[in-house]
Chain A
């Protein structure tokens, strides 16, 4: 079956161009170069229809950049994004718009992602009217229906975002995304800014919506507990590259990549009391100057010479399981 979303060799590089002074210095022979960050480096991944895929990694690993490219709000530098098997770059304007509507994004910060000068009914109702999903005269009823769906009281539809709490604002963000009837939601750290008891409410809402509307999710998070709970499959990223892909259960039962193992080891757990922490050494390297070969090798306890020199490719190590580690080649 054709996956709903597929990326092929998708990359995003951010380049800091030289300013005039630097250009002159360069002419005069100074050693200045453009700074290039490979935020996302040749990523291949798929999300099947009805699936919830968790995208996990630490800050600066490129998970948000990848999510934004998939959601169509950031153009890729290289590579292709296929929506239901069709390259979005080759679609004509009408098709492109239609595909873009099908993929919606929910952001981390419920304070920054809503226009403070718009009323809730306009935040939710504007897009569906513009895209002809509802007639302008049915807007009020439609907004009411969507608000109810995400657990908001429709009586509040004339209020402004600042009159709501963080959890309610996140519900408004979800309602705005749902209002254009998408099939696919990219949730970028959508519950990270919320309190624990409110996190549970929003997670439940995501699961209810998935069932009711047959939604597909890309769930970007640094919180492995949350990802484990909601995802069918997990993709682990480190410094712009995918290092492991596996079914959630299998990944948590037997992580393959040393980075995944380290990550799972570090997660605080309620059932581990007064444990002795055995942290991975070192910092996350700067993406401006990533280590050679395997990006993880300076922090990896099993690194060999080959790891320092040659970047491992993402390979299938068992059906449906991918890992990018030289250790899987046997010694």
Chain B
């Protein structure tokens, strides 16, 4: 099934919301690709469009939102022209999503077993017993003790971390080619987050599943991803190999974001903060959306910067990048 190309290639994606107050360009010309067995970190702050990007890939954008332009190539097949029936056969099967709140995945009135068996039977031609066996195996793989008993439980009988594991087990049960994980550990405690990251990492290595990890937490991405896209106000502002971007951020926003993380500096020193706040998506400044908060902005930034390769392997959207000088 998998061709020679990347598992997922998104080209020039635009998802706009046509609200009464105006058009919100939640995703505006976003392009990226993920290969088999690779992990892409999609990083940004609230309202930057990272979640809508994930929803767009799965065809889950509801009105007033609409994908207005671009291509989403999954194993070479354009999902935007695929039609609802084809998408339904792919979702939960070849492409799965893990949400921040596991109760988005789980039905509160059905036993875990019913939900997992259903996921298998909807997509695979196997009998109920085989499906049950697969559910048991999947539960074991995400580290849930005594899976036989736990399969008969309802979601409310699990803790938050356990629920997220079940959601991950359901995502992995049909061995998908691509998983989109939207802040799956943000609501969890540190030790539980470590467990979830461990399971996700292990399963992707074993099955060769491509992973898109959407998060605001750069440190989580650092431990997980190969490649990183930083988003701001609906656009990718910097994209490249993880080590390159974290060691030498070129875009002023990426640099500001990294400097905002406390562990980067010595204790008690002032953090280099980014002034101001994210502009309203209804009212973006013309030109570069970051210019109102950027220390390097000048009149050139009134024009819109194109995504370009500033140094080999690194694409940025900026007129005044940090390509010279120290990292």
B-binding residues in A (CB < 8 A): 58-59, 165, 167-168, 195-201, 203-204, 207, 222, 224-226, 228-230, 248-249, 262-263, 265-280, 283-284
Query: How far, in angstroms, from A204 to B217 measured CA to CA in the complex?
Result: 19
What is the CA–CA distance of A59 and B45 in the complex, to the nearest angstrom?
A: 24
- Complex CA gap A323/B192 in Å reads 23
Which secondary structure dominates where chain B touches chain A?
Answer: helix
> Is residue B294 contacting chain A, with contact meaning CB distance below 8 A?
no
* A229-B267 in contact (CB<8A): yes
Chain B 203-223 against A: per-residue CB contact (8 Å), 1 yes, 0 no?
000000000000011111011
A197 & B273 in contact (Cβ 8 Å cutoff): yes
Measured CA separation A75–B246 after assembly (Å): 47
Counting CB contacts under 8 A, is B100 at the interface? Answer: no
Q: Which one of A59, A196, A275 contacts B260 once the chains associate, using CB atoms below 8 Å?
A: A196
Interface membership of B193, Cβ < 8 A = yes
Q: In the complex the two chains form, is A200's CB within 8 Å of B260's CB?
A: yes
CB neighbors of A among B144-177 (8 A)? 159, 161-162
Chain A residues with Cβ under 8 A from B263's Cβ? 225, 228-229, 269-270
Could you tell me how many residues of chain B have their Cβ less than 8 Å away from some Cβ of chain A?
48
Closest to A267 in B: B190
Complex contact A197–B189 (CB within 8 A): no
Contact among A167, A196, A229, A280 for B218, CB-based, below 8 A:
A196
A269 touches B194 (CB 8 A): no
- Chain A residues near B222: list those with CB within 8 A: 268-273
Closest to A259 in B: B191
Residues of B within 8 A of A269 (CB): 219, 222-223, 263
Does A207 lie within 8 Å of B268, measured CB to CB? yes
Q: With a CB–CB cut-off of 8 A, which chain B residues contact A280?
A: 191, 194-195
Query: Looking at the complex, which one of B159, B161, B246, B277 makes contact with A165 (CB distance below 8 Å)?
Result: B277
CA of A278 to CA of B278 in the docked complex: distance in angstroms? Answer: 36
User: Please, which residues of chain A bring their CB within 8 A of the CB of B270?
Assistant: 204, 207
Cα A177 to Cα B45 in complex, Å, equals 28
- A-B contacts, 7 of them at CB < 8 A, read A168-B277, A200-B261, A266-B191, A266-B194, A272-B222, A279-B191, A280-B195
Residue in B198, B226, B261, B268 whose beta carbon sits within 8 Å of that of A225 in the complex: B261
Please report the C-alpha to C-alpha distance between residue A247 and residue B261 in the assembled complex, in whole angstroms.
Answer: 21
